[in-house]
């Protein structure tokens, strides 16, 4: 029947896996055993090769369609670039592209022009004018170790501007909802041109959390690149956040409010003529159930970007920007507004950790801590 599925393959001994297709037959998986594996749909009995380079759990895989390079990130704080065009049975050439402490998630924008990195210290890093062929000689910036209450002398605060819109995005004038700092080479400043891989550090605004840091545990991008979707947990002490699995002190877990937030990308006048500047405007939010003993919850946009699916206790909630599930560009509020709960779906006997829309059918999948996966075909 239409939409029917059958299981054709199950990866061996895999935990915490993430899958990314490179083309119509080759795909990559990552795991908490610190490795990445390449697979061929035509020969699923054996891996094409195993990639070694990370020293902790590998949590993200992205693919740059422009350069045909594989990009991975892990809890070791490293973003590594892999040249899959030159793979052998022993692996493929790779190099460390970026490193920062407290790295949680990494994403590429749909046009692969920017890289976004979320951290457990509450900062969102944006690499502008992305060039994966050039590694960044950077480490742990002092700003990433700072608290949310950092003084304005340490951070450059965004100001209102009537700068141009981001190409292809429903951007308005920037405001003061986030703070930022740029890191650029002196040579680029002298030349008066915007440098490749220019780093900007933003502090997303979270409802009700003005004086405490926040751990950005989940990071997703709108399919059209208009906005970013974050799941934030209050973090009263950065030292409680550990690199492997976000193991927090149990006494803090039930006290930590969680928020799902949607931020519109905005572009304003740069602080310096040679530096790009982006800001995030909080448009929608909703408070989440804080259950799951510190496990990370992965949420997602629908393929058309009109809805959000978010783990909620033993099920998932389908969220919209309004009751009609309108496009974000058609219902941008003047001030941040609550997301609307369109439907709640509960079928698990354990905490739901992840959810994903089908890219081709009206179906949603959810997976829980005990390993069960449920498929839904909601009717509205």
Looking only at the bridges linking them, the beta strands covering 124-128 and 156-157 are unpaired
**Residue 9 pLDDT greater than 60, yes or no:** no
**Residue 305 pLDDT greater than 80, yes or no:** yes
When mean pLDDT is compared over 42-51, 211-220, 343-352, the highest value belongs to 343-352
The pLDDT of residue 41 is: 85
The pLDDT of residue 240 is: 34
Question: What does pLDDT average to over the chain?
Answer: 76
Report the alpha-carbon distance of residue 150 to residue 309 in Å, rounded: 33
Give the least confident one: 28-42, 86-100, 150-164, 279-293: 150-164
The pLDDT of residue 133 is: 86
3-class DSSP assignment, residue 238 = helix
pLDDT tens across 326-380, in order? 999 999 999 999 999 999 999 899 999 999 998 888 889 999 988 888 989 877 6
Report yes or no: 138 and 183 within 8 Å, Cβ to Cβ. Answer: yes
Higher pLDDT pick, 63 / 237: 63
If you ran DSSP here, which 8-state letter would residue 89 be given?
T
The pLDDT of residue 207 is: 83
Please report, rounded to a whole number, the percentage of residues in the chain having pLDDT higher than 90: 40
What average pLDDT does this structure show over 210-224? 81
Question: What ranges in the chain are assigned the alpha helix state H?
Answer: 186-191, 250-253
Structure token digits, residue 362: 């009206």
Question: Biggest alpha carbon distance in the chain?
Answer: 63
Report the alpha-carbon distance of residue 61 to residue 17 in Å, rounded: 10
The closest alpha carbon to 242, from 73, 104, 47, belongs to 104
pLDDT tens across 338-352, in order? 999 999 999 899 999
**Residue 156 pLDDT greater than 90, yes or no:** no
Give the least confident one: 68-77, 232-241, 295-304, 341-350: 232-241
Domains of the chain: 15-99 (2.40.10), 114-349 (no CATH)
The closest alpha carbon to 217, from 283, 345, 122, belongs to 122
Q: Give every CB contact of residue 69 below 8 A, 6+ residues apart in sequence.
A: 63, 81, 82, 83, 84, 132
């Amino acid at each position: 029947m239409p939409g029917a599925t059958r299981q054709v393959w199950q990866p061996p001994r895999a935990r915490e896996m993430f899958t990314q297709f490179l083309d119509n037959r080759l795909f990559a998986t990552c795991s908490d055993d610190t490795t990445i594996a390449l697979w061929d749909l035509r020969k699923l009995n054996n891996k094409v090769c195993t990639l070694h380079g990370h020293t902790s759990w590998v949590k993200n895989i992205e693919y740059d369609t422009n350069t045909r390079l594989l990009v991975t990130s892990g809890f070791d704080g490293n973003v590594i670039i892999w040249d899959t065009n030159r793979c052998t049975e022993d692996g493929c050439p790779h190099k460390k592209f970026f490193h920062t402490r407290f790295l949680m998630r990494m994403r590429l924008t749909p046009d692969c022009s920017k890289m976004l990195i979320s951290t457990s210290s509450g900062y969102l890093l944006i690499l502008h004018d992305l060039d994966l062929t050039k590694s960044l000689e950077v480490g742990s910036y002092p700003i990433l170790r700072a608290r949310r209450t950092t003084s304005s002398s340490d951070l450059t605060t965004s100001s209102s501007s009537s700068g141009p819109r981001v190409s292809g995005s429903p951007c308005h004038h920037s405001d003061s909802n986030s703070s930022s700092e740029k890191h650029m080479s002196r040579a680029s400043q002298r030349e008066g041109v915007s440098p490749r891989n220019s780093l900007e550090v933003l502090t997303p605004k979270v409802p009700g959390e003005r004086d405490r840091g926040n751990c950005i545990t989940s990071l997703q991008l709108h399919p059209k690149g208009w906005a970013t979707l974050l799941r934030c947990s209050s973090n009263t002490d950065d030292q409680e956040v550990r690199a492997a699995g976000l193991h927090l002190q149990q006494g803090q877990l039930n006290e930590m409010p969680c928020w799902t937030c949607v931020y519109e990308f905005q572009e304003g006048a740069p602080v310096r003529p040679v530096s790009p500047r982006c800001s995030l405007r909080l448009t929608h939010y909703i408070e989440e159930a804080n259950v799951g003993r510190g496990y990370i919850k992965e949420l997602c946009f629908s393929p058309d970007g009109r809805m959000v699916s978010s783990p909620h206790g033993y099920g998932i909630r389908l969220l919209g920007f309004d009751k009609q599930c309108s496009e974000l560009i058609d219902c941008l509020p003047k001030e941040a507004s609550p997301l609307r709960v369109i439907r709640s779906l509960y079928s698990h006997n354990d905490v739901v950790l992840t959810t994903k829309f089908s890219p081709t059918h009206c179906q949603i999948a959810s997976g829980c801590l005990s390993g069960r996966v449920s498929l839904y075909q909601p009717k509205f």
